[in-house]
Structure 1
Amino acid sequence: MAGGWSHDGAVQEQIDASTEDEVKRVRSKLSVGESLAYCEECGESIPEARRKAIAGVRLCVSCQAEQDKQNSEKGGFNRRASKDSQLR
């Protein structure tokens, strides 16, 4: 149910667009190419099993965990605010 000047389905379209944008953003961060033997952050050896499991891996487990933690602290997008701004 849409309200104001928006057409029916506008809210779902905004949700779909936000989800698609986030999927594209995450996919763009996926590693590609040959995996490194040593972490580009700390220089520690990256285990062979990790290199085989993840194509294009560039960080050791501990550095990857730290990077993931920092990225999650930045927060994502506020989907509700996005919808509200489209309907006003």
Structure 2
Amino acid sequence: MASGWAREGAVQEQIDDTVNDAVARARRELEHAGASLTHCEECGEPIPERRRELIPGVRLCVTCQAEADEAGQASGFNRRGSKDSQLR
């Protein structure tokens, strides 16, 4: 893939780094999770037993977790940067 001044494979490295950062962040959150709740701390709905078994420290039902994931979707890293910032 032609990408201007970037070396071969740089774009894929950026993608891989972003994915690896997200996986590492998720693992850190699981390590500090504690015991799973039986009911969602947001809406109070019961959390299915299978979900509690598979995700240690789960605190939200599937619906509330999906909403929380959408709200916190930004990774916080601008790996690409603007052309203007690269020229400075």
TM over 0.5: yes
Residue 80 and residue 53 in structure 1: after superposition, are their counterparts in 2 closer, same or farther (change >3 A)? same
Q: Residues 16-60 of structure 1: CA distance to partner in whole angstroms, max 9, x if unpaired?
A: 9xx499355443333522110011111110000100010110000
Aligned identity (percent) is: 56
TM-score, normalisation: structure 2:
0.59
Q: How many angstroms apart in 2 are the aligned matches of 1:35 and 1:45?
A: 12
- What's the RMSD between the two structures over aligned residues? 3.0
Matches within 5 A, 1:70-85: 70-72=71-73, 75-76=74-75, 77-81=77-81
Gaps of 5+ in 1: 1-11
Match in the other structure for 1:45 = 46
- How many residues align? The count is 71
Gaps of 5+ in 2: 1-9
Match in the other structure for 1:29 = 29
More helix per residue: 1
Match in the other structure for 1:5 = none
TM-score, normalisation: structure 1:
0.59
Match in the other structure for 1:65 = 66
